[in-house]
Amino acid sequence: MKIILAAPRGFCAGVNMAIDSLDLTLKKFGPPIYVYHEIVHNQFVVKTFREKGAVFVDTIDEVPEGGVLLFSAHGVSPEVRKAAQARKLHALDATCPLVTKVHLEAIKYAKAGYTIILIGHEGHDEVLGTMGEAPEAIVLVEDESDVDRLEFAPGTQLAYLTQTTLSVDDAGRVIRRLRERFPEIHSPPKDDICYATQNRQEAVKLLREDADIIVVLGSQNSSNSQRLRELAAEQGKRAMLVDGPQDLAVDQFSDDDRVLITAGASAPESVVQATIDWLKENFDASVDTQVVREEDVQFPLPKALRAFAAEQAAAK
Ligand code: 0K2
Ligand code: SF4
């Protein structure tokens, strides 16, 4: 068996920052630390933090007054921030700056009187947060058929934004349809689909040709991981999205398979390595790492944690 190990894969700068933030918040304040939504959409990460005293909530009411609350990487609406304030919570924010960028674009367009078409997945944490910035000005579309159903009064100024973790190809098709229907539509100068999403998809596209089967590490509720699985399966290849080797069965593979392994932006490298070890044990696999693009992006911690992080680093 040959394993083709895709790079880049796994944790992005936003996820690294969010995970470090939760780690430091737990150390600084002690458990329980409440987290609004899963810190990232990964079962292994969520379970590990639960064991350390993190409590994941979907409503602010679940947090006792005065509790310490961290907003997840996917961002929150102003309404959630206000509810946290009203409950006198000590709130910290691990929203990825690239998600915040989309929030700021939404605010800017809404203030200028635009109607915003947000391309994204209904009910997704990030979409809920972004739409909350200007609920009266934002319309959500998921695909081209949604675009076909849009109707606006003559003279409506339009702009589009996207969720950060979409399929580049699917979003491109929706944008083409938007431009066909509304040639005057505005958009930000730079893509909202983030660098990490784009790079992980690019790697799968380039490397899938040489594989018989593709294993994407990530959880089922991780949008960017699902998009990698879809891309992997596009040419009729066998492709699966799994949390780790516990989800694999020996009869899914054979000795001469070429297995492409990648991981979504929220999947830890430890689950990638555990999967490789499992394949090595069962199929005597060798590993060939293929670097498609270098990444060196880093995001700063939330301001409220920086001094503590420096103290922790100095004490080591
Ligand atoms: O891909 P998703 O947006 O569902 O989120 P995760 O799987 O948690 O990946 C990290 C990205 C978070 C923000 O964009
Ligand atoms: Fe930020 Fe992109 Fe990572 Fe989401 S996937 S946390 S937008 S870098």
* Residues pairing with 6 in the sheet: 290
The rounded distance, in Å, linking the Cα atoms of 4 and 279 is 12
The mean pLDDT of 255-276, rounded to a whole number, is 98
Q: Give the pLDDT band of residue 288 (cuts 50, 70, 90).
A: very high
Q: What do you get for the CA distance between the two ends of the chain, in Å?
A: 42
Q: Give the pLDDT band of residue 167 (cuts 50, 70, 90).
A: very high
Measured CA to CA in angstroms, residue 110 lies from 6, 106, 137 at distances of 40, 6, 6
Give 39-83 pLDDT, tens digit per residue. Answer: 999 999 999 999 999 999 999 999 999 999 999 999 999 999 999
Cβ-proximal residues to 298 (8 Å cutoff; 6+ apart), any chain: 13, 16, 17
Distance from the alpha carbon of residue 205 to the mean position of ligand 2, in angstroms: 19
Sign of CA dihedral 186, 188, 190, 194: negative
Q: For ligand 1, atom 14, which residue shows the shortest CA distance? A: 74
pTM: 0.98
The rounded distance, in Å, linking the Cα atoms of 236 and 238 is 7
Strands of the sheet with 158-162, listed across from one edge: 138-141, 115-119, 158-162
The rounded distance, in Å, linking the Cα atoms of 132 and 80 is 9
In this prediction, residue 148 carries a pLDDT of 98
Give 169-183 pLDDT, tens digit per residue. Answer: 999 999 999 999 999
CATH of the domain spanning 98-181 = 3.40.1010.20
Q: Where in the chain is the domain with CATH 3.40.50.11270?
A: 13-96+299-309
CATH T-level topology, domain 2-11+195-291: Cobalt-precorrin-4 Transmethylase; domain 1 (3.40.1010)
pLDDT > 70 fraction of the chain, expressed in percent and rounded? 100
Active site residues: 126
Give 87-112 pLDDT, tens digit per residue. Answer: 999 999 999 999 999 999 999 999 99
Q: For ligand 2, atom 8, which residue shows the shortest CA distance? A: 14
If one residue of 102, 165, 197 were mutated to test the ligand 1 pocket, choosing by the most ligand atoms within 8 A of its CB, it would be 165
CB of residue 73 inside a 6 A radius of ligand 2:
yes
Q: Where in the chain is the domain with CATH 3.40.1010.20?
A: 2-11+195-291, 98-181
Burial (CB < 10 A; 0-12, 13-18, 19+), residue 91, is buried
Options 3.40.50.11270, 2.160.20.60, 1.20.120.530, 3.40.50.300; CATH of 13-96+299-309: 3.40.50.11270
CB of residue 166 inside a 6 A radius of ligand 2:
no
CB of residue 12 inside a 6 A radius of ligand 2:
yes
Give 182-234 pLDDT, tens digit per residue. Answer: 999 999 998 899 999 999 999 999 999 999 999 999 999 999 999 999 999 99
Please identify which residue in the block is written with the tokens 């190990």. 5
The rounded distance, in Å, linking the Cα atoms of 166 and 180 is 21
The rounded distance, in Å, linking the Cα atoms of 107 and 81 is 16
Closest ligand by atom to 299 CA: 2
Q: Higher confidence at residue 163 or residue 191?
A: 163
Distance from the alpha carbon of residue 73 to the mean position of ligand 2, in angstroms: 8
Atom of ligand 2 nearest to the CA of 97: 1
Residues with CB under 6 A from ligand 1: 14-15, 40-41, 73-74, 96, 99, 126, 164-165, 222-225, 264-266
Atom of ligand 2 nearest to the CA of 224: 5
In this prediction, residue 48 carries a pLDDT of 98
Distance from the alpha carbon of residue 72 to the mean position of ligand 1, in angstroms: 10
